[in-house]
Homo-oligomer: A and B are copies of this chain.
Amino acid sequence: MTIKIGQVGLGRLGRVHAENIVHHLPNAELYAVASVVPEELDYAKHTLGVPYTYTSYSQMINNDALDAVVIVSPSGFHTVQITQALDKGLHVFSEKPLGLEMTSIQKVVEKIEATPQQVFQLGFMRRFDDSYRYAKQLVDQGELGALTTIRCYGIDPSEGLPSFIKFAKGAASGGIFLDMSIHDIDLIRWFTQSEFKSVYALGHNIAAPELNACQELETGACLAELNNGVIAYLLAGRNAHHGYHVETELIGTKGMIRIGNAPEKNLVTLYDANGVVRPTSTHFPERFKAAFVNELRAFIDAIKTQAPASVTGIDGLKSTEVAIAMQQAYETKSIIQL
């Protein structure tokens, strides 16, 4: 049985998902696509060979042949589109975040929980990366003992900074913690199996003073405490000159692990006039190339085996809650209890 998928949104990340469905998932078919951008529908029809294209999400999900939707639209649409799809009886894969404010998120989570026979999966792809899965296995096997301290870095490449500045002048990202740290919050919850207790945050725009006027941050840093006592440090930034720096450090009573100490592109080392150089991943589609395939494969497998997905609505709700608290801590210069 091939799972027929309708996808909304074909921006940068949308194309990653669409191409993965077409080229890497024999059990899935990209059956329909919805977008308000004509070029995206052209691309879907002519490059990817998608049979049905729509300018409206509502119309697309009326196509009765569909089994599932993949939502890669702007964050503000997520809760509504998830709800509509669930109402239609469709399985749903949605990009993070689940939503932008807590009330609608809580409602959509209730909806998700009320339809357990429909698979719902949130796009925290890092959990599907080989390195993160390997680390998770070590942690769960007790190789590190009890976790004591976690450090999570998510720093976007500097080459994207100018376009972010342009974007920030016109629209709100939700703040650096909701926009970027949310992945790290999810990882911390996943690794520790504990919830955040308190957060304190700092931020600045030394590297991009233009952002001060947009109420955005180039760098945000947070020191947090979890319910089980683990201390977490989260750093989000938009100015890594060496590429796309996502790093997680797990310290336990028995040892320490770093995932992505350096975001090595591959197994090549250059020995040249610069010294001994490891080339790096330069953007998220490269760094998490396999993880994006893996997460959709897991979604398809969950549908086929009628199993629940591993990343749930609750994961989306909890991580958003923490990100919002971080933003508040930064804005009020105070320690926020959760």
Q: B-contacting residues of A (Cβ < 8 Å)?
A: 22-26, 130-131, 134-135, 138, 145-149, 151, 200, 202-204, 206-207, 219, 221-223, 225, 229-231, 233, 235, 237, 239-243, 245, 251, 253-280, 290, 333-335
Contacts and interface: CB of A to CB of B under 8 A. Distances in A.
A148 B276 CA distance: 19
Nearest to A135: B268
6 closest A-B pairs by CB: A223-B223, A256-B271, A255-B272, A262-B276, A131-B266, A131-B267
A139 B148 CA distance: 32
A203 B229 CA distance: 9
Contacts of A148: 204, 206-207, 219, 239
Contact of A335 (B203, B222, B273, B333): B333
Contacts of A221: 149, 223, 231, 233
Nearest to A148: B206
A275 B267 contact: no
The count of identical subunits is 4
- Residue from the set A26, A267, A268, A278 with the largest chain B CB neighbour count within 10 Å: A267
A242 B276 contact: yes
B270 A267 contact: no
B261 A267 contact: yes
A270 B243 contact: no
Contacts of A230: 206
Contact of A273 (B138, B241, B276, B333): B241
A23 to B, nearest CB: 6
Contacts of A237: 149, 251
Contacts of A130: 266
Contacts of A147: 206
Nearest to A203: B231
Contacts of A265: 134, 275
A289 to B, nearest CB: 9
Contact of A256 (B26, B242, B261, B274): B242
Given A148-B206, A270-B275, A274-B277, 4 more contacts: A200-B200, A223-B233, A241-B255, A242-B272
A337 to B, nearest CB: 10
A138 B257 CA distance: 26
16 contacts: A25-B26, A134-B268, A145-B207, A148-B219, A149-B221, A221-B223, A222-B223, A237-B251, A242-B255, A256-B270, A260-B267, A261-B269, A262-B276, A274-B277, A290-B290, A334-B335
